Amino acid sequence: MNYRKRFLVEPGAKVQLGELDPDFTGKHANETAAKADIADDLERLRKLQYRLYAEHERSLLIVLQALDAGGKDGTVRHVFGAFNPQGANVHAFKVPTPEEAAHDFLWRAHAATPARGHIAIFNRSHYEDVLVARVHDLVPEEMWSKRYDRINEFEKNLVQAGTHILKFFLHISPDEQLRRFKKRLDDPQSWWKLNESDYAERKHWDGYRKAYEDVLERCSTKRAPWYVIPANHKWFRNLAVASIVAYTLDELDPKLPKPAADIGAIRRAYEEAAAATSPA
Ligand code: AMP
Ligand code: MG
């Protein structure tokens, strides 16, 4: 299933999140019906990452953004668990440390970008600097309003250096968020995740919606596209993200490098060694 076209934010298109259905599940009626397709996509991710790593030329940056309880952690676990950790890295962006805050806002993002052959997953990202920073007036408008262009330039530079970029906004409804908060409240194993500010943040739902719409409109580019993923159903979110990443890696078509060694000579050496150790 290729959801790439369906959930893509066309560069420059106007976005109204209220018109995008967070409950959408496409042709699959439920998780059971989607199981085989999800497993297929995860298997494709495994194989493609192997080739990307071996090729050691290009890299992939995946940005995950969502409101609280939007499913960023779950996506990391269920989708990117398919990757070999040797070539994949998850970087969670928190409130900037004093050292990070002492630098320009892209400094910490740049430092976490993927090396050749690697995949980096940003759990939150440099976009927080035009989201939380804007909604909470952490910096004056004069400052955050200039950041969209800076972000586009930054991403363009990465693309030119061989990093492919995919950006996912996990779209949930306010009701679904409340259901997830309640589930956490009912499960002592989840209490560590609870935060009074999660509830306070709900008051800013409209502010975040506007801030996200601006991000999607201004920073979805051909080379570094945004996708809005219907995320009320976790299984569908996983399916959609996995299929878009797999499709993209497939298109990159990473190639195994030519062998650096003379395979024939190594085979002959092996056969001699094997003959010398086999019982007479
Ligand atoms: P969590 O993802 O639940 O661990 O929370 C991380 C927190 O860090 C969230 O409340 C984010 O809004 C906050 N955060 C991330 N980046 C920034 C930033 N650049 N400025 C201020 N707060 C941030
Ligand atoms: Mg949180």
Residue 91 Cα to ligand 2 midpoint, Å, equals 15
Please report which helix (H) or strand (E) contains residue 250, including its range: helix 234-252
From the list 37, 20, 81, 82, the residue with the least C-alpha distance to 235 is 37
Please give the Cα distance from 147 to 130 (Å, whole number): 7
- pLDDT above 80: residue 2: no
- CA dihedral 248→241→235→67, nearest 10 degrees, is 180
How far is the centre of ligand 1, averaged over its atoms, from the C-alpha of 125 (Å)? 9
* Interval 48-95: pLDDT, tens: 999 999 999 999 999 999 999 999 999 999 999 999 999 999 999 999
Other Cβ atoms within 10 Å of 229 Cβ, number: 26
Nearest ligand, measured from the Cα of 73:
1
| Pocket, ligand 1, Cβ cutoff 6 A | 93-96, 124, 128-129, 132-133, 138
- Centre of ligand 1 from the C-alpha of residue 97, in Å: 11
Residues 175-199 have pLDDT tens digits of 999 999 999 999 999 999 888 888 8
- The answer to whether the CB of 117 falls within 8 A of the CB of 87 is yes
pTM of the model: 0.96
What's the token pair of residue 189? 């194993």
pLDDT > 60? residue 1: no
Specify the DSSP class assigned to residue 210. Answer: H
Per-residue pLDDT for 280 more than 70? no
User: CA-CA distance, 83 to 205, in Å (whole number)?
Assistant: 33
Nearest-CA residue for atom 8 of ligand 1: 94
Mean pLDDT, the chain, as a whole number?
A: 96
Quote the pLDDT of residue 198.
86
* Nearest one of 44, 40, 59, 85 to 252, comparing CA atoms: 59
Please identify, by atom number, the ligand 1 atom nearest to the C-alpha of residue 68: 3
The C-alpha atoms of residue 45 and residue 55 are separated, in whole angstroms, by 15
Distance CA 218, CA 130 (A): 11
- Across the strands, what pairs with 166? 62
In the chain, DSSP assigns E strands to: 59-66, 88-92, 119-123, 163-171, 226-230
